[in-house]
């Protein structure tokens, strides 16, 4: 399935039905009085988070979504039926934004979460509503209220605890396949990863975290070079970044330190908050470095990069050092989850509206 992480849609809730003007016409009841019913409310438009979806591709080919209008009121005290609601299933992690103002309206962060994104219009009043002691034969009625209409931008940011970033061919896909259940495409040439891959890493019974592998970044990615800039947004929700570095490049003229500095600079250009996220160094492909040179090469790399955080030496191909890495990552993710749970603040804008009755 094609991976699509952005789409634009137009939605329209149903209009309310009109009220009715009617009078009783029954045998032996000369003055039956008004009996015009109210119109039914229009259908709502709901958004539902579905963990079985991982792309917005359905909304690329179906942009207009309209709920049914409410039925008009009728005589004999009959109210109009409410219009049918429509439910739009979206991937978990979808951000719903007003396409005209750019205001973020809702975020779908939990599987099964339901949000009312457009309310149907209320039904109009029939003439029975206007009956009074001084107005026994009212001929007033009101039309139904219009339903909400919106132009929306849908943006998907995958929900992952850990994000892998690095230059093309750094071994990110090999790493995610070695430590998780993900099976991305792997080849001996750059840009084999064309869209984000998610994998669940099992550390132990009921102990796991989600890792995301993104297309490789190159210098100028924040301005649109390469593929990585299209998916940098998916790193914004991660708790930890693993900077994967190829320590045995095929081209001897390639300097891993210069590449690492360029990648960090691209992160800072794209999003300062993303640049400030916890970032660990993962020095990969050390199985291709002679044993007597490995320690010196690692020490020289860290010294020249002036990196102060945790550094892990691994080989994703042979899985050397991977177990130690995933255990450390799990402990870090768990600690951040506990800290976030203690300081969680609920934004009232994201509280869903309950479905209304007819």
Binning the chain into helix, strand and coil, the percentages to the nearest 5 are 25, 25, 50
| Contact of 34 with 76, CB cutoff 8 Å | no
171 is in an annotated binding site: yes
| Contacts (Cβ under 8 Å, ≥6 apart) of 346 | none
Residue 14 counted as an annotated binding residue: no
- Binding residue per annotation — 98? no
Which of 109, 110, 62 shows the shortest CA–CA distance to 86?
62
78 labelled binding-site residue: no
Burial of 303 (0-12, 13-18, 19+ CB in 10 A): exposed
Whether residue 285 is annotated as binding a ligand: the answer is: yes
Annotated ligand binding at 290? The verdict is no
Instruction: Check the annotation: does 142 bind a ligand.
Output: no
Q: Is the dihedral of CA 122, 67, 153, 109 positive or negative?
A: positive
Tokens of 109: 């962060």
For residue 329, give the H/E element and its range. Answer: helix 322-342
Q: What is the distance between the terminal CA atoms of the chain, rounded to a whole angstrom?
A: 39
Residue 216 among known ligand-binding residues: yes
Q: Name the 3-class secondary structure at 314.
A: coil
Q: Is 191 annotated as contributing to ligand binding? A: yes
Answer yes or no: is 192 a known binding residue.
yes
Residue corresponding to tokens 């990615």: 221
Q: Which helix (H) or strand (E) holds 323?
A: helix 322-342
- 135 carries a ligand binding annotation: no
Whether 18 has a binding-site annotation, put simply, is no
- Pairwise CA distance, residues 198 & 210, whole Å: 7
> 167 among the known binding-site residues?
yes
Measured in whole angstroms, the distance separating CA 104 from the mean position of its chain's CA atoms is 12
> Is position 269 annotated in a ligand binding site?
no
Given the structure tokens 């005209």, which residue do they identify? Answer: 100
The Cα 2–Cα 185 span in angstroms is: 15
Is 208 flagged in the annotation as binding? no
**Residue 316 annotated as lining a ligand binding site:** yes
Q: Annotated binding site: which residue ranges?
A: 166-173, 191-195, 213-216, 284-287, 315-317
Q: Annotated binding site for Mg(2+): which residue ranges?
A: 173, 193
Q: Annotated binding site for GTP: which residue ranges?
A: 166-173, 191-195, 213-216, 284-287, 315-317
């Amino acid at each position: 399935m094609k991976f699509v992480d952005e789409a634009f849609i137009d939605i329209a809730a149903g209009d309310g039905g009109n009220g009715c003007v009617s009078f009783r016409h029954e045998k032996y009841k000369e003055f039956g009085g008004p009996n015009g019913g109210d119109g039914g409310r229009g259908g709502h438009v709901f958004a539902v988070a579905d963990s079985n979806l991982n792309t917005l591709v359905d909304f690329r080919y179906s942009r207009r979504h309209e709920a049914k209008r409410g039925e008009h009121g009728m005589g004999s005290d009959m109210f109009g039926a409410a219009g049918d609601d429509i439910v739009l299933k979206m991937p978990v992690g979808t951000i719903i934004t007003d396409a005209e103002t750019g205001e973020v309206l809702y975020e779908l962060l939990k599987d099964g979460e339901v949000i009312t994104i457009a309310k149907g219009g209320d039904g109009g009043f029939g003439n029975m509503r206007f009956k009074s002691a001084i107005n026994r034969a009212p001929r007033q009625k009101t039309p139904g209220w219009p339903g909400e209409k919106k132009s929306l931008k849908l943006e998907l940011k995958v929900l992952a605890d850990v994000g892998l970033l690095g230059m093309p061919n750094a071994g990110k896909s090999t790493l995610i396949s070695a430590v998780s259940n993900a099976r991305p495409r792997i080849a001996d040439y750059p840009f084999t990863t064309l869209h984000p891959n998610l994998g669940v890493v099992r550390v132990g019974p009921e102990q796991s975290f989600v890792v995301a592998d993104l297309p490789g970044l190159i210098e100028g990615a924040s301005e649109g070079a390469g593929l990585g800039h299209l998916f940098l947004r998916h790193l914004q929700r991660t708790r930890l970044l693993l900077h994967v570095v190829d320590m045995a490049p095929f081209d001897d003229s390639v300097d891993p330190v210069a590449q690492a500095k360029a990648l960090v600079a691209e992160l800072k250009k794209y999003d300062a908050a993303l640049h400030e996220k916890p970032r660990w160094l993962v020095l990969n492909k050390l199985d291709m470095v002679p044993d007597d040179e490995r320690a010196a090469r690692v020490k020289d790399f860290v010294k020249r990069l002036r990196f102060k955080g945790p550094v892990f030496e691994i080989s994703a191909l042979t899985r050397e050092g991977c177990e130690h890495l995933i255990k450390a990552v799990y402990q870090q993710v768990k600690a951040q989850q506990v800290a976030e749970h203690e300081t969680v603040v609920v934004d009232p804008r994201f509280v869903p509206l309950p479905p209304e009755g007819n």
